[in-house]
Structure 1
Amino acid sequence: YASNVLKLEVKDDIGIIGQNLHSLVNNIKQPIVGKGKLVSNCEFYNWKTISLKYNINAKNDSDLLVKLIDYKINANNETPIEPYKAYCLIESILSELRGVYSFAYWIEDLVFVFRDIIGVRPLWYSLDSGFGFASEKKVLKNNFFPTINELDPRIVICYNINKNIIQSFKRPFISTSQQSCKSYRELELEFKNTLENAVSIRLPSEPFGILYSGGLDSTVLAVMAINAGKVPGKDFFCYTTGLFLNDKAPQDVEFALKAVKDLGLKLRLIDVKLQELEEMLIDTVYLIEDTHIPKIGVGVTIYSSCMKAKEDNIRVIFAGTGADELLAGYDRYKSLYGDDIQDLCYKDVLNIYQENCYRDDVVTMNNGIELRLPYLDTEFVKLCLSLPHEYKLYKGTNKLILRNI
């Protein structure tokens, strides 16, 4: 271990893995070394339950992950390790763990890299001069990797160090071939229960924030937090950013102010001045490594809200990312019918890691804040993709089932 890379004493021909960790549970130095070596950026919400199931003494979720992988590979008792079999063993472990992750597991001469199947946690890689990977694209750029790719969450890469070759394995994803045949009332109850569970398992024991627009998605999160026993102004705060021109509040801020008054929420309102905006734009473009205007616009509001949340010592913040994609929330859905709605929802879910997740992760993490996204919980995504299209968009009303709960 070393405090910076210049203090590491390593030979030129040896591989290096490391992690600059934002830890919420029992900070353990990484790499974690067992039979293999692990660096991870993960948040498994059921890790304690799985630790008990396998009778493993784990200090946190990353510690459990490496011990589980070591245990499964040891039990397989195969030397040398066959890449596809090792991939299948790791995949079977991940099927029991509920949460988000990106990690690398290095054993013998093989390095496996995974990220969660939706792509909430980022992972970039390069095959220039061997194999490099990082959570942020700019890290690889700064270390002279010219050709950089974002890892598709439905792909796992295995790099053989000695042979300098890559194998990739396609991961199974959620099927949309079968729509639910349950009644609307049955699905509405299941929908509500699944989303409430996705929220409750992500609620921390410490105060947290909600990125709040005053719209449906973030309001549902706030109400569910209250229903789970969290107290506004004590256990959580809502953060809203607006650019005030001529002392006039933007429409999103007006919605937020009305909603917090009606629901008794505690709002942290960030009034961005025009002269402050330029510096925020520069910082946001650097962080997200993208000049697409809509991405930057959303990124700036997250950036500003997280700066305020950091001042409040908030380390976890919730957002409504994913609801629009899952439940036909965008205006572009309104011109579609039937299976075309389902197909676009599925496509948007597949692409959300590129469109939203990387931006949101790097902006929040720049402020030392972990982003939690209940709408992108795997169980909730599975349910939403199985819903009939008319429960999402009906006679011009989008997110119908979410509005009804």
Structure 2
Amino acid sequence: MEHGLDAPKHLDGMFSWVLYDKNQDRVVAARDPIGITSFYIGWSSETPGAVYFASELKSLHPVCDKIQAFPPGHIFDSKTGSFTRYFEPTWWDPTNVPSAPVDYKVIRASLEKSVRKRLMAEVPYGVLLSGGLDSSLVASIAQRETLRMQEAAKAAQAQGAELNELVGIDDSNDLSTVTTFQQLHSFSIGLPGAPDTEAALKVAKFLGTKHHAFTFTVEDGLNALSDVIYHLETYDVTTIRASTPMYLLSRKIKAMGVKMVLSGEGSDEIFGGYLYFHAAPDREEFHKETVRRVKNLHLADCLRANKSTSAWGLEARVPFLDKEFLETCMGVEPSEKMITKERIEKYILRKAFDTTDEPDVKPYLPDNILWRQKEQFSDGVGYSWIDALKDQAEVHVTDEMMKNPKPEWGSDIPDTKEAYV
């Protein structure tokens, strides 16, 4: 490799890869900085010295007796048999509390650039649009870029230029190849009357995307649970709750011929958007928790987004987890992010895209969406979904079963009936 073990530092995006150097009989593997893609490493006592890699645990189980998640932001070298962390952002040490003042224009420009980079595609694409702040901002930026490139394509055609099928971003932060962009498609899913579905329709109408609002029934969700667990390879209750609607939606999207979608994961971790961040006692603890949550994204939201979509051959790209955007926003003074009586969660992100004081700039979102309080995804698709899961567990799991966990579970014993199921 030209750059040796520093090679991943020169990559920008999500990836998991394994390279074999035949001359040195050496294997080198790496995973993207945050762990957006799923990646595992394993060893077998029957084949000492061999190392196994896979994007799914189930591929390694038949041959490996030791398996672990490949750590995000690391590179593995078979020559030493060790991992080296190549991802070294300024915010990695949670005790190093940043103090940079918030710059709303920089935050806006950074997210716009991140979305723009992820529109590099040669396949039909769309956006997941729940109607919440994060997915709505991603959809808004993507729609602006789509319309901008449509105008550029028309101008180029008028001058006799040939149009291409692949676009990319150049060093000046512009899409470097003029192409014909399709109309942007957006997608949402929920139980009938779900809060997110209604909000998504409002956003889609405001932006002008071609929106597809799908619904599912509680029975659909329950019937899919075993498949969801199979593909997600986890029994984590919160992850399964949120993954089931996303899994069902991904199937619908892929059936329409769409192969890539933009998604809004990561924002809540970066900006402290979860409601429990209200309880942060001070700026230091607030920052520590955001760092912890970002570092653990590969165990939860990234795992959900990657595996729920890839189960159907759909690729999910995540603009909020761009390296440059992370460096910008994780470096902001934590007190600027903290929730107060005057400031709703993710205030600085909302403010960055508030154009009230910019009369010449078209609004990114309606005010009632830009300043809408967060819904948990599994709540937003319909509150009765979680109730149904709990009711199902009550029917199938008795108190006696809870008192006598299965021996093969070892110390990993479920503490609720829903987890037992």
TM-score scaled by length of structure 2: 0.69
1:39-54 alignment to 2 at 5 Å? none
Q: Which residue pairs with 1:211 in the alignment? A: 128
Separation of aligned partners in 2, 1:90 and 1:312: 42
1:117 and 1:173 in contact (8 A); partners too? no
Give the secondary structure class of the aligned counterpart of 2:53.
strand
Report the equivalent of 1:112: 28
2:240 aligned to 292, 296, 307, which one? 296
Aligned residues: 307
Q: Distance in 2 between matches of 1:288 and 1:124?
A: 13
Q: Which one has the bigger strand percentage?
A: 1
Aligned partner of 1:357: which letter? C
What whole-Å deviation, never above 9, does each CA across 1:16-46 have from its counterpart, x for those lacking one?
xxxxxxxxxxxxxxxxxxxxxxxxxxxxxxx
Alignment of 1:290-369 (within 5 A): 290-336=234-280, 337-369=282-314
**Offset from partner CA, 1:94-124 (integer Å, 9 cap, x none):** 3233111111111122211110111112210
1:229 to 128, 146, 152: 146
CA distance in 2, matches of 1:271, 1:180: 45
How far, CA to CA, are the matches of 2:338 and 2:208 in structure 1?
A: 30
The Cα shift of 1:138 comes to 1.1
The answer on 1:153 being equivalent to 2:101 is: no
**In structure 1, what is the Cα distance between the partners aligned to 2:60 and 2:240?**
22
Shift in Å, 1:206: 4.2
Q: Deviation at 1:234?
A: 4.2
Distance 2:129 2:17 in 1: 30
- Could you say what secondary structure the match of 1:100 adopts? coil
Deviations 1:308-338 (A, max 9, x none): 1111100111110000000111011111031
Residue 40 of structure 2 is matched in structure 1 by 124
Secondary structure of 2:75's partner?
Answer: strand
- Where in structure 2 are the equivalents of 1:133-144 lying within 5 Å? 133-141=53-61, 143-144=62-63
CA RMSD for the aligned pairs?
2.1
Equivalence for 1:271:
215
In 2: Cα distance, 1:125 partner to 1:345 partner: 27
Go from structure 1 to structure 2 and tell me whether the alpha carbon gap of 1:230 and 1:206 turns closer, same or farther (over 3 Å shift): farther
1:167 aligns with 2:82: yes
Quick one: structure 1 residues 95 and 147, their matched pair in 2 at CA, closer, same or farther if it must change by over 3 Å?
closer
1:376 aligns with 2:321: yes
- Cα pair distance change 1:279/1:402, threshold 3 Å: same
Q: Residues 58-107 of structure 1, C-alpha deviation per residue, up to 9 Å, x if partnerless? A: xxxxxxxxxxx2xx2xxxxxxxxxxxxxxxx3343332331111111111
Amino acid at match of 1:217: D
In structure 2, relative to structure 1, the CA distance for the partners of 1:355 and 1:372 (3 Å cut) is same
Q: Does 1:240 align with 2:160?
A: no
What corresponds to 2:410 in structure 1? none
Q: In the alignment, residue 20 of structure 2 is paired with which amino acid? A: W
Q: Under a length normalisation based on structure 1, what TM-score does the superposition of the two structures give?
A: 0.71
> Is the 8 Å Cα contact of residues 391 and 399 (structure 1) preserved in structure 2?
no
Deviation at 1:359, TM superposition (A): 2.6
Q: Which gives a bigger RCO, structure 1 or 2 (Cα 8 Å, sep 6+)?
A: 2
| Contact 1:206/1:235 (<8 A) preserved | no
Q: Are the structure 2 counterparts of residues 93 and 145 from structure 1 closer, same or farther at C-alpha, using a change threshold of 3 Å?
A: closer
Please list every run of 5 or more consecutive structure 2 residues that lacks an aligned counterpart in the other structure: 151-180, 354-421
Alignment of 1:90 onto 2:4: yes
Shift of residue 263, structure 1, vs aligned partner: 3.2
CA–CA distance in structure 2, aligned partners of residues 303 and 255 of structure 1: 20
Q: 1:188 to 1:91 in 2, by over 3 A?
A: farther
The AA in structure 1 aligned to 2:18 is A
Q: CA deviation at 1:197?
A: 0.4
